[in-house]
Structure 1
């Protein structure tokens, strides 16, 4: 039965790939027929887990053909409901077995306090009408509590079932029928695939779990949504992002993009200096410091003196320097600055 399910899915997958490649209507009809056969195929939790067909079927929910996409999404939803129903049934069967074992044991200690409380209330024999009514109220209250707890358990199992079905890794790029956009996705995926050979052993597991094709598609989609086409007005921004991701001397930024440390929307807000590698950022800092030092050194030397008195504040703490602003036979011009009030004046 598992082999038949795999063969049926493989035929649907091959037809879907052929329909996406050359766009033939015959291949699309073949894939639709195979998906309808899968829809009628009797499956259960064990078969779906052992074959892992459900995870691979998620790839077809993003197929460019609408018929294949809708049928695949409908089939994924049906199989998901089957998994959830069977897990709930197994839980209920397990809980009923534990209740029967508790009833058979007399005087045994159990971890479920609510079950003990129900059993003790059922064993008691009321002697008066007042006590019987109060015991009935207690029993109804306990039943309501148990129903609420069952509802919470069902919600938790539904959440875990939906979270456990993670999107599978893409084996190839998702085409958008635009040769320019597809070329950008191809270049991004090619650059992101290099990360596996550049990272250290500590990040090996995290990198293996990442999907370079899916990340490349999400980055290109984010750029297209915000900046439009790559050959438009924002082509320089496209080039900046592409250059930093493909740069052989910038493996840090490429690794951050693949592992999700830098989200696709965040990439669009980064400057070229922020996308540069750590070494390059340190070099840029040193260059700026050196340029600032050279600028300050190029200024005329200043000296502090108390020979000049500021006409504004009356203080004698001043700095000054001299420049030859006129011909050589003329005296130098002295420029004075008050340290206290920043007043400036000059004289010859």
Structure 2
């Protein structure tokens, strides 16, 4: 339904309301519910969002309920598919002042306040921002330890402030100690956010936020460098990361650390065969081992053991 059709129906609805013709009112409002595809431009140009919103206080219960359903539907569409949670312990205003307060303070439906985030400030100057790949580098490599979404001159992706803000926070968590290309990190952040969005599509926004808050917390943990690097490198699939428990993430990080220590040993490192160690995986006593100084000089050396039967690896100090 285009703007002209919406305005024509709006005039018909206004007349029906003035004459209190309930059946006609319900018929027109059902057409709005079934045929109108809500967009910010359409609601702004026609003012139909505010007009329908006022009918939520209509004296007829059916009209009021239908108006509430339409407003909720349009807000959900404009909010990227999320359902707004019902407020808890809502304060009921004085009935005498309801009409006046609504006229003075209600915002148009095309600008839900829940999507007003600081990300909107970031998008104001995007048109003049350089390409995401134009990142300051050190001898051709991006700096590690001082990288953020904004410093890397990245841009919003989805068009929804709340989603773009989550992608920004994911990017910051993955990038701050990484030297990987900004496009690689950005793609990881986008894929994680999309997976979580698909998990909670049509659910209250709080569930989506809480899930991403937990993932971001795990990624920002300085004790989990292997987890961040594994996701950026592709060693840990983002689909797997999004469903891992906190304990599984820590275990995966420890596994990566051990693997990296084994890889870090010198190419000519001598490995001695021994039967002193029993493999915790297969129970055999056939293994090779070597030692490295992985901590300060006054600390004991770390022993790395590899089972020759099942290739299981472990270390101890």
Instruction: Report the TM-score when normalising by structure 2.
Output: 0.30
Instruction: Report the TM-score when normalising by structure 1.
Output: 0.27
Structure having the higher Rg? 1
* Higher RCO (CA < 8 A, seq sep 6+): 2
